[in-house]
Structure 1
Amino acid sequence: MRDGSGSPGSSGPTATCEVEPGAVGTVRTSYAPDPDGDPDPGEIVWTWVPYEEDDGRGKDRPVLIVARESHGTVLGVQLSSQERAARHGWLPLGSGPWDASGRDSWVSTERVLRVHPEGMRREACALDRARFQRVVHRLQQLYGWR
């Protein structure tokens, strides 16, 4: 849905939004997937993600959860199945069960999203620890997270 009408995470107090990674306070990453229906670090979840233009449009897409915040929200980075190898800030992730077509994915390390549990449409799967750590390591380098 381009305007997000009716999509979890598209509007209101549970909307998924972009945050300034250096301004979110202390961020501690940990690998803690738990298939309980809530977004946990290490899981890929589906939620509505606003376009970078921040014009009210966006689309439902997979997001890798990388950290839990103290007030109940989580931080994540978006995935894309479009070829991103040549673009700065995108890491190759490979394929996984979050994409029913089995396409390779890339994850953006330049755009951090705040996801509310009520704004998540569904859990897709847990990413393996090695790939999670590779993404987190890059985020730690970029933003000084632990």
Structure 2
Amino acid sequence: MSHSSNELHDGAPEYPGRSGHAATQEVEPADVGRVRTAYAPDPDGDPDPGEIVWTWVPYEEDDGRGKDRPVLIVAREDRGTVLGVQLTSRERDGQAGWLPLGTGPWDRSGRDSWVGTERVLRVHPDGMRREACALDRARFNRVVHRLQQIYAWR
């Protein structure tokens, strides 16, 4: 049985960041080492701090399932990868671990979004499907400040 080049062996569609060397992975924030959280969006096709990009995000159950979703890139790592936090349009007001982000061009329906601060994701440049937009510096700084408080990043 043949599969198209954009399908995995299980017949599911292939998405950048889903598998292989460029797979998006959840990381332990205390173990990532030195990170650079400087706001540096650049519409160059690579994920940069301050940008919202689309990539495959594994479900918290880490059972091989996941979803293509927007991720705010918050820091650069020395290894050439970046760290990010996922966005959702599901109502999260008042829920611990979620910051309201408001609306932006990453959501074509104009829905409010929230950013999760309890999961940090490592994104490989080859695992990014597309750049969506740059987040404004004020909202980026608010998210990074919260992450610095939680994880003692400097």
Alignment partner, residue 23 of structure 1? 31
In structure 2, C-alpha distance between the alignment counterparts of 1:73 and 1:108, rounded to whole Å: 19
Q: Is the contact made by 2:35 and 2:78 (CA closer than 8 Å) also made in structure 1?
A: no
Extract unaligned runs of 5+ from structure 1: none
Q: How many residues align?
A: 145
Partner of 1:11: 19
Give, in angstroms, the shift of residue 87 of structure 1.
1.5
Alignment of 1:4-83 (within 5 A): 5-83=13-91
Question: Are the aligned partners of 1:16 and 1:119 in contact in 2 as well (CA < 8 Å)?
Answer: yes
Structure with the greater alpha carbon radius of gyration: 2
What is the CA distance between 1:85 and its match in structure 2? 1.0
Instruction: Determine if the alignment matches structure 1 residue 100 to structure 2 residue 108.
Output: yes
User: Paired residue for 1:117?
Assistant: 125
Q: Which ranges of 4 or more aligned residues in structure 1 deviate by more than 6 Å?
A: none
Structural RMSD (CA): 1.3
Structure 2: gaps of 5 or more residues: 1-9
Inter-partner Cα distance in structure 2 for 1:21 and 1:30: 17
d(CA) in 2 for partners of 1:20, 1:78 = 15
State the AA in 1 paired with 2:52.
Answer: I
TM score, norm. by length of structure 2: 0.91
User: 2:130 & 2:13 partners in 1: Cα distance?
Assistant: 17
Distance 2:145 2:13 in 1: 35
Cα distance, 1:23 vs structure 2:
0.5
Question: Which TM-score applies when normalising by structure 1?
Answer: 0.96
Structure 2 residue 153 is the aligned partner of structure 1 residue 142: no
Contact 2:35 2:77 in 1 (8 A): yes
Give me the identity figure in percent.
81
Asked if the contact 1:43–1:124 (Cα under 8 Å) also holds between the matched residues in 2, the reply is: yes
Q: Which amino acid aligns with 1:49?
A: V
* Counterpart contact for 2:16–2:126, Cα < 8 Å: yes
